[in-house]
Amino acid sequence: MNIILGKQAAEKLQDSYTILELETFTRQDGSAITAYCVIESVPISELPILLSNIKLHENFIREYNNKNYKYCEDAVEHLLVNLTVNLTVLFRIIGRIKLFKLISIS
């Protein structure tokens, strides 16, 4: 698995690999760039559920961007069990969700 930056790079690889959107960052110049996860190989045991897991991941990212953190916390349990992604990225997102929730309570 690799992380790439930019939609154009992701589109070039999407016919050959599983591409999952991760996060969008703001650069120092104010422009935004999105990070993507490139999964080179999927274990054969995951093939039957791959499409549903990709959809769950897409919903996770959409709801994260919409600040629906409850959905993200629920969905991450399934993603960690069922999807071959970089766990560090998901844990960082969940860490940010907890921080955002603390800030909004204050």
| 51 has pLDDT over 70 | yes
* β-pairing verdict for 18-26 and 32-39: antiparallel
The answer to whether the beta carbons of residues 39 and 17 sit under 8 Å apart is yes
For residue 65 the two structure tokens come to 């961007």
| 63 has pLDDT over 70 | yes
pTM for this prediction: 0.64
What is the rounded distance in angstroms from the CA atom of residue 35 to the CA atom of residue 23?
5
The mean predicted confidence, pLDDT, of the chain is 79
